[in-house]
Structure 1
Amino acid sequence: ILTAAKLCAPALDKKDWISGYNWVIDAMKQDHEPIASEMEICKALHFLKSKEFDKAIEVLKAFEKKDPALKAMAATNLSFLYFVEGDYAQADKFASLAVRHQRYNAKALVNKGNCLYVKNECERAKELYLEAIGVEADCIEAIFNLGLVNIKIGVLNEALQAFEKLHSIVPSNTEVIFQIANLHDMMGNYRQAAKWFNILLSCFGSSKNVADPGVLARLGQIFNKDDDETQAFHYHLESYRHFPVNLDVISWLGVWYVKSELYEKAIQFFERASQIQPQEVKWRLMVTSCHRRMGAYQKALILYEQIHHDYPENLECLRYLVAICKDLGQKYEHHQQALAKLERENAAKVNAQTNATNSSGGGAMTRASSDDQRGSSRGSARSSSRLEANNQQADGGNMYSSHDYHSAGHDSPKENNKLQVEAESEYAVPRPMTTTLYRNASGSTARKNEKNDESDEWGDADVGNLLAD
């Protein structure tokens, strides 16, 4: 009878499915009250499918005054609804109610586990997911969430086992395939990660115009970590073709072209990035750096002056401007003075912040920690750009952002002998020009070292570390 009612109710009036459900419910209430209650829940689920959440909640809340079995069934659905809406307190309340009335309800156990998961009670959530799997061995939600909670706890092998089991149940589910690929990447199994991401790509079909740019970018990052730059470049370029506004992909491609000394192509990508982020000065600095590396020093000088006009407090631009003016034999004293003033102001700000930290935290340990942080700030800026970020959702927009940027480009013939020294330098930008004040007054010794000093002001820092910000 229940099956017949479920089939007939939505088909009685195709223009108004609600009236069909109401007619069936009214017909069943007199002699088949349990079936009528089941149909009420089916009606609420139909509201959910139509995304009429308020009406679904209204129907389900009416079950609070009914017998415990039906109340528990409604509570399971209510818990799910409140959880999706972000009302975790109400979701937890109804999940507990559902579990109390029907302990062996796998869906209710999953809902309760989800509420514990968002409270960061991962061990208890894991126990409930395992209990739900014990009740219903093929409960997809319980197995999937068990994998996620294992990732959060840090037991990646157990997480991989859960997702592989789930893959055997639903072999074409893209979210499960993504999680398997992501776990292999997290565990350093780059070949396996690439294999599973390629399987994920095949789920979208064989058409060249249908693909997930986020997955393509992720493949590029994996091959980059596996030291296969050819494949890394291929997948980053494919990702850019499908989604040409991903700044992570654009910056990687720009740096790759700089490393390959194809500066004209690199300029195209950095200009694209500048169009996407017009207020971000580093993209304009990268474009200017490419012109300088090509030997177009006059063009680079004009661009540096434009950037300085728009961003007069940008230290990097001023340092490059002073260096290029010296290379071209032009006057740079006014830029040097502005740079020295700006560096003094920045140093004063840092000291003020440090003093404020010391006064609030107090103690020698705090001061030592501050000194260590200042001493290692340049080194940490480089290392922070290599941190890998891994997300757990197959969403191509925001979850693929890990990079390892470093460049080996050349500036001018003078600097060819200095590239290795510069590449190992911990400076993210040319060194402060305060040494120039002493160099001018130091006679013949300074003149002997002038060439080396000037070359030290360039290097690859503007490629690798501007992007680390």
Structure 2
Amino acid sequence: MSRAGGGGSEENRPMTAVRAAGYTAHGKGQGANGTFDPMGGGNTMAGRGPAPPLLQRADNSPEDKCREMEKEVNGLIEESAKLSLQKQYQAALDRAKEAGKLERQLCKKREENGLADQINIDLTYSVCFNLANQHHCCGMYMEALNAYSLIVKNKQYAQSGRLRVNMGNIYYEQKKYSAAIKMYRMALDQIPNTGREIRYKIMRNIGNAFVRLGQFQDAIASYDQIMDGSADLQTGFNLVLCYYAAGEKERMKKAFSRLLSVRELGMEDEDAVAAELDDVLQEDGLKDQLRAKQRQSNKYLSIAAKLLAPVIENDIVSGFNWVCDMLRANQHQALATEMEIAKALYFMRSKEFDKAIETLKSYEKKDQTLVAHAATNLSFIYFHEADYPSAIKYADIAMKHNRYNAKALVNKGNCMFMRADYEHARAMYQEAMGAEADCLEAIYNLGVVNKRLGELPQALGLFEKLHQIIPNSVEVMWQIADLFDQSNQLRSAITWFKRLNARVPTDPSVFARLGNIYLKEDDEAQAFHYHQESYRYFPVNMNVISWLGAYFVKNEMYEKAVAYFERAAQIQPQEVKWKLMVASCHRRSGDYALAFEIYRAIHADFPDNIECLRYLVHICDDLGKKDQSHDYVVKLRAVERALEQSGGGPGTMDAQTLAAQQSQQQQQQQLQQQQLQQQQMQQQQQEWEQLQQQALQQQQWQEAQQQQFQEQLEQQQQQWQRWQQQ
């Protein structure tokens, strides 16, 4: 055999592999037509074509059909769960009902075909549980309870006793706390000791229900058991609240110490974790979760500290100091600093401004991150003390550290406003709104500035925007109504003042404004009604009293007018006109004797009053007292001569004259009323501007104390429901 392989047969292997795999020159691998056919199909008998396709298996057996129906049921359950997560509860309930109907058909079909042993009990459990859960989400509590009852009573369902927790949650939402506790305890009995986490969560639900019933000692027992076994921040916080409600100071301290000792994931090193979480270049889901957990833990600790500090010691300052020391001892420096600021705010609410200033100034040379916070509060204090240069100074310091500090901008704007520098004040408020779009103080004050500058449409737009944010604010409603009144949109003004009256049904100023607006519309009946209501709640408003007295005189109801003029004389005893009007009403009603006695008393108090002397002369003539009439005539001429010598002139006024003047002056009053209203609003606005920030801070403090407990219970309930769904 040569190297070229010329003398060998085809079966002999060549010395070199120069042929393609499976290829020969003379047809062993070729078919009859010369094509490549390694399988030899070309040498088979003629007429044999390609192999037919494989036959598909027919899924027509009952077992296969049942399997397909089971897949459909599972699909409906998953779709229902997804819709529920998207809060489309009605659609989720419809899918759950479809799944239940189809699952019953599946069970019936298997029984008919002798496949009862293949009935999937787990699928039935899933369908029933999902249906009960969707009833619960839709608020159909009775249907949900019935569905859960059927599940827990069926012994075929393993671990179904846990669903009594869901039944307890429904009773809890219905405020049937005793029934909820019963269900929780029945579920607790069926949870083995290996399920420690679930057992402690159920115990926490029991404690929450006891709190709702006001049985704080029972709640404390439940929370204590959890803290001994598996302490967590939420339970520790609830325990602090229970001791606070029970008024046990020493136990409050111990509970707060236990709360500080809890270390959950993400709380090992506060500063290190905070620095890591602040690295925005490395964002991931775990950091988001840790950040949320850290915010929640700081919230628990901050609220508990602010709640306990004023009550755990006999001296409130000592209480704040104890809380701050405990926070520092447990490596919570940021919260300790926050409590120092809270102590300064307490001094501000107690009007102890010197101590507040001393506390806040102590941060000027400390942590720079706290300088802005302290300077903002110092600016607020100096503003209330009318020390506007110092207020502006500290507002500038706060803005230097954080140009977008909305509160500092508002403080500086307030100082400009009090200096009547409205344009600069408006610029500050607008910048504050740019930094914080929902800054309520900036929006309100900007509306006031626009109102002061006469830009009523812009002011109205701001107050309407603010009304959408805080629809229950009576101050905002008053401003809107007043702007409509000033714009001469009387019907809109009436509508808003009536809305305001529904919020504060005993405010006399609202009734007075409604009366004045109806007077502009020449509706005297409504004007009289609202003036009378204003007088009923505040019977010392001289404008209302004089209007009512003149109204009765105009309608010749002198007996009723007397009561109002007598009240005016009591309020302003040195004003002679009210006593003259009382005497004039008696004279016009025909009681001359009583009128004469009143005039004599007026003359004794005001011997130089010409009107009184003239009426005495007329009444003496009418009563036939000639001697007394002569004496009063002599006194009258002497007083008139004295007035003429001094350059004065005589004048008269009685009730009839007052009524005539009232009729003539109604138009003047309507023109002057707007000026009077503006003065009143300016005074009210000044008071409001001085108190608005303090009131908002105080309201936040009270809401944190009053509502936090309820929020925590609701959050815990939501967390339990999410866990149960998972």
SS at 1:387 equivalent: helix
Q: Corresponding residue for 1:248? A: 543
1:202 aligns with 2:497: no
Moved more, 177-186 or 242-251: 242-251
Alignment TM-score, normalising by the size of structure 2: 0.46
Q: 1:123 aligns with which of 419, 423, 426?
A: 423
Structure 1: distance between partners of 2:639 and 2:351: 59
Give the corresponding residue for 1:387.
672
Residue 217 in structure 1 maps to residue 512 in structure 2: yes
Map 1:19-98 onto structure 2 (within 5 A).
Answer: 19-29=318-328, 33-98=333-398
Q: Deviations over 1:382-401 (max 9, x none)?
A: 95896221122796xx99xx
Q: Is 1:185 matched up with 2:485?
A: yes
- State the alpha-carbon separation in 2 of the partners of residues 96 and 217 from structure 1: 43
| Structure-2 change in CA distance of 1:214 and 1:154 (3 Å) | same
Query: Which of the numbers 285, 294, 308 marks the counterpart of 2:580?
Result: 285
Deviation at 1:112, TM superposition (A): 0.3
| 2:556 corresponds to | 261
Instruction: Mark the runs of 5 or more structure 1 residues left unpaired by the alignment.
Output: 205-209, 350-378, 400-469
**Post-superposition shift, 1:270?**
0.8
Distance 1:12 1:335, change over 3 A: closer
Q: 213-222 vs 167-176, which deviates more?
A: 213-222
The separation in 2 between residues aligned to 1:384 and 1:242, in whole angstroms, is 23
Match of 2:304 in 1: 8
1:392 match: secondary structure: helix
SS at match of 1:65: coil
Amino acid of the structure 1 residue aligned with 2:487: M
% same residue: 52
Query: Pairwise mapping of residues 96-135 of structure 1 onto structure 2 (< 5 A)?
Result: 96-135=396-435
- The amino acid across from 2:543 in the alignment is D
Deviations 1:356-375 (A, max 9, x none): xxxxxxxxxxxxxxxxxxxx
1:341 is displaced (CA, Å) by: 1.8
Deviation at residue 308 of structure 1 after TM alignment: 2.2
Gaps in structure 2 of 5+ consecutive residues: 1-296, 650-663, 689-726
Cα pair 2:444 2:462 within 8 Å, conserved: yes
Using CA pairs below 8 Å that are at least 6 residues apart, which structure has the higher relative contact order?
Answer: 1
Letter in 1 for 2:507: D
TM-fit CA distance, 1:202: 0.7
Could you say if the C-alpha distance between residues 11 and 149 of structure 1 is closer, same or farther in structure 2, counting changes exceeding 3 Å? Answer: closer
Bigger drift between 333-342 and 65-74 goes to: 333-342
Match of 2:609 in 1: 314
Pairing 1:236–2:531 present:
yes
CA RMSD of aligned residues (A): 3.2
The one-letter code matched in structure 2 to 1:283 is W
Closer, same or farther: CA 37–295 of 1 in aligned 2, 3 Å: same
Q: Is the 8 A contact 1:313 1:342 kept in 2?
A: no
Partner Cα distance (2:349, 2:436) in 1: 25
Return the alpha-carbon distance in structure 1 between the equivalents of residues 618 and 458 of structure 2.
Answer: 55
**Which deviations, in whole Å up to 9, do the C-alpha atoms of 1:230-271 show, x marking residues without a partner?**
011111111222222222222211111001110111112111
Cα distance in 1, alignment partners of residues 308 and 610 from structure 2? 73
Map of 1:454 onto structure 2? none
Could you tell me how far apart the structure 2 residues matched to 1:18 and 1:222 are? 52
Answer whether contact 2:412 2:428 (CA < 8 A) is retained.
yes
1:294 positional shift? 2.2
Query: 1:19, 1:300 → 2: CA distance?
Result: 69
Q: Which amino acid aligns with 2:304?
A: C
C-alpha displacement of 1:336: 3.9
Query: How has the CA–CA distance of structure 1 residues 147 and 319 changed in structure 2, closer, same or farther, with 3 Å as cutoff?
Result: farther
Partner of 1:409: none
Shift of residue 186 of structure 1?
1.8
**CA distance in 2 between partners of 1:392 and 1:142 (Å):** 19
39-48 vs 11-20, greater mean Cα deviation: 11-20
- Change over 3 Å in CA distance of 1:87–1:316 after alignment to 2: farther
Query: Which deviations, in whole Å up to 9, do the C-alpha atoms of 1:394-451 show, x marking residues without a partner?
Result: 96xx99xxxxxxxxxxxxxxxxxxxxxxxxxxxxxxxxxxxxxxxxxxxxxxxxxxxx
Residue 106 of structure 1 contacts residue 132 of structure 1 at CA under 8 Å; is this kept in 2? Answer: yes
Which of residues 148, 157, 164 is equivalent to 2:457?
A: 157
Deviation at 1:171, TM superposition (A): 0.3
Q: What secondary structure is seen at the aligned counterpart in 2 of 1:312? A: coil
- CA–CA separation in structure 2 for the residues paired with 1:81 and 1:190: 40
Amino acid at match of 1:111: N
Deviation, 1:165, is: 0.9
Q: TM-score, normalised by structure 1?
A: 0.70
- The alpha carbon displacement at 1:19 in A equals 4.4
Contact kept? 1:267, 1:287, Cα under 8 Å: yes
Go from structure 1 to structure 2 and tell me whether the alpha carbon gap of 1:181 and 1:123 turns closer, same or farther (over 3 Å shift).
same
**Distance change >3 Å, CA 190–CA 11, structure 1 → 2:** closer
The amino acid of 1:387's aligned partner reads: Q
Aligned-partner Cα distance in 2 for 1:116–1:277: 38
Query: Which moved further from structure 2: 31-40 or 245-254?
Result: 31-40
